[in-house]
Amino acid sequence: MSAQHDPLVSRFPAGGVSAVQSPCPYPAGEALALEHISHDFDTVTAAEDINLNVEPEELVCLLGPSGCGKTTLLRFAAGLERPQHGRVRIGEQLMSDSQSSTWTPPEQRQVGLVFQDAVLFPHLSVLENVCFGLPKLSAKEREQRARALLAQLGLAPFAESFPHVLSGGQQQRVALARALAPSPRIMLLDEPFSGLDARLRDRIRDDTLHLLKRNGTATLLVTHDPEEALFMADRIAVMRNGRIIQQGRPTEIYCHPIDPFVVRFFGDVNELQGVVANGRVETPVGPVEAQHLPEGSQAQVLIRPEALRVEQRSGPRDHTGSHVLMSRLLGGASFIHLCVHQGNDEFHMHAHIPGVYLPERDDPIDVHLDASQAFVFPL
Ligand SMILES: Nc1ncnc2c1ncn2[C@@H]1O[C@H](COP(=O)(O)OP(=O)(O)OP(=O)(O)O)[C@@H](O)[C@H]1O
């Protein structure tokens, strides 16, 4: 989908940066390709046969826990580190190739880089910081482009200010504008929002998404935050221990996770076990399809809290059936601790219900399962 047709960007007025530089000035084809990248640091495998590409205008998130190798991949793309095996291409150009010893230094790669902490030149104004990477334009064009970008990020009033008078969030936006000013072939963002408090982070994340989409900038974003990946990404690559274990559109990753790690990484999950019988596994909240597993095999069932719908039932509050243990309001949703029964066994499960729904402790309930958010894997 082009940036112009993306409903997310429709709230932006025409003009701005696009008046200075039209979106996506690079030819069609991949913006970035990492091909068969492998790399060890002493005994740690930071990358193992990684294949990842970013299409023009696409925003790809590398998502995974701390230490899984996300930053290392970004550094290979930027040319800050040389992979022991594999190739890096940016656009049509080969940037590094372990076999032919091809190597392009970072300053010749036309990448935009933003890290967790904005590193601005303290002796230059905001405007001068953003103009810094634009030596090929005339002074007037430089200023025009820098001001247009600052305006898009709500920073126009600070153009003449020096970095030390800006808040952390404002500094981060300046860093973003500076990286974007030279129209990089690819933007490489390494946890750029993680140093910000929650509300500011949401705002800057939103601004960044709109800015990147409006400019049609291909982007690789590193994050350990699954919500951030879902919010930002056109495509997500989930990493663990130096390997990409699943990549696809956010809905594919969330609704069709290929293993328990991917399910758990996206949040709290109810975990149960059972035996496959007649192509399904019985759970205390209903059967779950398991046609892909052998009959009689042990299976684990992972059920997201939002898969459970809770209905209050009339009857005695005597704990003979499923009942409420505790209810909490989380804001836009309610979180309910449940005690559910299967035969003589009791299970503690969590339900996540949209809106304000707070049944009382000990209320008898029926629990219904949306099986599309329940996943069965071999044990
Ligand atoms: N220069 C280095 N020398 C030795 N080990 C390194 C080096 N750089 C990274 N590593 C190791 O490689 C692994 C991957 O590190 P990397 O920084 O890429 O992970 P990450 O997923 O980005 O983690 P985080 O989210 O914490 O930044 C880690 O075990 C790390 O300790």
Residue 69 Cα to ligand 1 middle (Å): 6
pLDDT in tens, 232-245: 999 999 999 999 99
**165 in contact with ligand 1, CB cutoff 6 A:** no
pLDDT of residue 220: 98
pLDDT range class, residue 363, cuts 50, 70, 90: very high
**242 in contact with ligand 1, CB cutoff 6 A:** no
pLDDT in tens, 271-280: 999 999 999 9
Average pLDDT score over residue span 204-220? 93
**224 in contact with ligand 1, CB cutoff 6 A:** yes
Q: Answer yes or no: are the C-beta atoms of 238 and 229 closer than 8 Å.
A: no
Atom 5, ligand 1: residue with shortest CA distance: 41
**121 in contact with ligand 1, CB cutoff 6 A:** no
Lowest mean pLDDT across 112-116, 197-201, 325-329, 356-360? 197-201
**Buried b vs exposed e over 60-71: b needs ≥16 C-beta within 10 Å?**
bbbbbeeebbbb
Residue 320 Cα to ligand 1 middle (Å): 52
**Token pair of 174, please?**
């300046």
CA torsion 310-314-315-318 (nearest 10°) is 40
Region(s) of the chain under CATH 3.40.50.300: 3-260
The interface predicted TM-score of the complex, written ipTM, equals 0.97
**71 in contact with ligand 1, CB cutoff 6 A:** yes
Residue 188 Cα to ligand 1 middle (Å): 17
Residue 274 Cα to ligand 1 middle (Å): 38
Domain 3-260 sits in CATH at 3.40.50.300
Does residue 14 surpass a pLDDT of 80?
A: no
**69 in contact with ligand 1, CB cutoff 6 A:** yes
**66 in contact with ligand 1, CB cutoff 6 A:** yes
State the pTM of this model. 0.88
Comparing 136 with 39, the larger pLDDT belongs to 39
pLDDT in tens, 365-376: 999 999 999 999
Pocket test for ligand 1, best of 71, 75, 115 (most atoms within 8 A of CB): 71
Residue 291: burial class (beta carbons within 10 Å; 0-12, 13-18, 19+):
exposed
Average pLDDT score over residue span 40-65? 96
**56 in contact with ligand 1, CB cutoff 6 A:** no
By DSSP bridging, strand 32-41 and strand 85-90 are antiparallel
Comparing 16 with 216, the larger pLDDT belongs to 216
> HSE-up of 319 (CA within 13 Å, CB side)?
7
**86 in contact with ligand 1, CB cutoff 6 A:** no
C-alpha separations of 253 from 38, 73, 205, 247, 303 in Å = 24, 20, 21, 7, 15
**41 in contact with ligand 1, CB cutoff 6 A:** yes
Atom 17, ligand 1: residue with shortest CA distance: 71
How far apart, in whole angstroms, are the C-alpha atoms of residue 351 and residue 71? Answer: 35
